[in-house]
């Protein structure tokens, strides 16, 4: 197919959009001249590159729609906005989320061929063809790629294209995200602080990251709730190592090549871990707090030592 017109639908969340960037990158690398449009919620849009990756980024007002989710006016606005994608005349369309809202977006855009990676509700199952998942143990990035290849030939890229944030690696910077997206996935702040205190004693500069509603640390540099998403990405990309629970910054770290320690709880790390060989996943049960601060510190020190050794080999 010559220069196809492709719609990729992945509204949220931040980490899932970073993982979906692998699929978008595969499309861009296979068809350099493709018209690639990504439909996304505004709060997640900053992780989607508008210069090298997508031709067009269509953003939707998630927060406003969520506040009035049961209003007929909201439904009408959603249908109108989704239908405005139709004149773009897409050849291929992929729903990599599988919610009713993303399924409706793909269906109303009317690409010539469409496929969904999942269907999480009965409406989504009716709106688009859904590719059956052969194994629950397949990682999300790999599954998204399998969905792409159901409609074409898209080799797996070496890595995803993310926005260029001009980051330079700081060998003494360790960033810790206190965010988790959901309370049950959060790692206790007191245990993060224990890790931070030890790393500070080791001579590292520890910076805490997070959203406006996240708790604030009493040690290290506190940037929780103070940064735009693009600035958070820049700091993660600048880090010698990044520490996080199952949240978006862990996926950012993997995408930009920063070593990452990921602490998991109720979600399956086989499917949702940061997609990298340069990281460690710690999982001790359904509660992230069951992973000890000592285990996190050991993993962080191991990754820092590996990076230091690699730097010495390159320098030598």
> HSE of 276 in the Cβ direction (CA atoms, 13 Å)?
24
- 3-state SS, residue 281: strand
Q: What mean pLDDT comes out for the span 73-97?
A: 96
pLDDT at 199: 98
Please check the confidence at residue 137 and state whether its pLDDT lies above 90: no
- 3-state SS, residue 15: helix
Dist CA 147 CA 136 (whole Å): 14
pLDDT at 316: 36
Please check the confidence at residue 294 and state whether its pLDDT lies above 70: yes
pLDDT at 312: 46
Instruction: Show the domains of the chain with their CATH numbers.
Output: 5-150 (3.40.50.2000), 173-315 (3.40.50.2000)
Please check the confidence at residue 26 and state whether its pLDDT lies above 50: yes
Q: At what angle do helices 100-109 and 72-83 cross, to 10 degrees?
A: 40
Please check the confidence at residue 288 and state whether its pLDDT lies above 70: yes
Q: How confident is the model at residue 307 (pLDDT cuts 50, 70, 90)?
A: confident
Q: What mean pLDDT comes out for the span 33-52?
A: 97
Our CA dihedral for 158, 162, 165, 170, rounded to 10 degrees, sits at -40
| Structure-token pair, residue 275 | 């997609």
Q: What mean pLDDT comes out for the span 229-235?
A: 97
250, 229 Cβ separation under 8 angstroms: no
The rounded mean pLDDT for the chain is 95
How far apart, in Å, do the first and last CA atoms of the chain sit?
Answer: 48
Please check the confidence at residue 292 and state whether its pLDDT lies above 90: yes
Dist CA 124 CA 96 (whole Å): 12
Please check the confidence at residue 11 and state whether its pLDDT lies above 70: yes
Q: What mean pLDDT comes out for the span 141-149?
A: 97
Percent of the chain with pLDDT strictly greater than 70: 98
Percent of the chain with pLDDT strictly greater than 90: 91
pLDDT at 142: 97
Work out whether strand 35-41 and strand 221-222 pair parallel, antiparallel, or are unpaired.
unpaired
Dist CA 69 CA 240 (whole Å): 42
**Hunting for tokens 């990158």 — which residue is that?**
25
Q: How confident is the model at residue 219 (pLDDT cuts 50, 70, 90)?
A: very high
Q: What mean pLDDT comes out for the span 8-19?
A: 97
pLDDT at 314: 40
Please check the confidence at residue 135 and state whether its pLDDT lies above 50: yes
| Structure-token pair, residue 123 | 């409406």
pLDDT at 1: 59
Please check the confidence at residue 315 and state whether its pLDDT lies above 60: no
Cross-strand bridge partners of residue 151 = none
């Amino acid at each position: 197919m010559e220069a196809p017109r492709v719609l990729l639908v992945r509204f949220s969340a931040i980490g899932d959009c970073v993982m979906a960037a692998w699929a978008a990158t595969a499309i861009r690398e296979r068809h350099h001249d493709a018209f690639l449009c990504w439909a996304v919620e505004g709060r997640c849009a900053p992780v989607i590159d508008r210069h090298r990756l997508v031709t067009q980024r269509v953003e939707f007002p998630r927060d406003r729609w969520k506040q009035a989710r049961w209003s007929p006016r909201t439904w009408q606005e959603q249908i109108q906005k989704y239908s405005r994608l139709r004149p773009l005349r897409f050849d291929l369309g992929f729903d990599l989320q599988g919610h009713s809202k993303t399924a409706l977006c793909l269906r109303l855009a009317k690409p010539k061929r469409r496929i969904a990676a999942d269907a999480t509700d009965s409406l989504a199952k009716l709106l688009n063809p859904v590719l059956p998942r052969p194994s629950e143990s397949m990682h999300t990035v790999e599954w998204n790629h399998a969905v792409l290849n159901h409609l074409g030939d898209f080799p797996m890229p070496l890595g995803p294209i993310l926005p260029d944030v001009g980051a330079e690696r700081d060998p003494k910077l360790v960033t810790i995200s206190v965010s988790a997206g959901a309370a049950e996935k959060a790692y206790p702040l007191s245990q993060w602080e224990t890790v931070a205190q030890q790393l500070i004693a080791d001579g590292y500069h520890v910076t805490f990251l997070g959203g406006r509603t996240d708790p604030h640390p009493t040690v290290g540099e506190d940037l929780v709730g103070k940064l735009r998403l693009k600035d958070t990405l820049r700091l993660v990309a600048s880090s010698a190592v990044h520490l996080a629970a199952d949240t978006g910054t862990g996926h950012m770290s993997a995408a930009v090549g920063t070593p990452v320690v990921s602490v998991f709880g109720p979600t399956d790390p086989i499917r949702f871990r940061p997609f990298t060989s340069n990281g460690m996943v710690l999982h001790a049960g359904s509660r992230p707090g069951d992973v000890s601060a000592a285990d996190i510190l050991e993993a962080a020190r191991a990754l820092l030592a590996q990076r230091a050794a690699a730097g010495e080999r390159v320098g030598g």
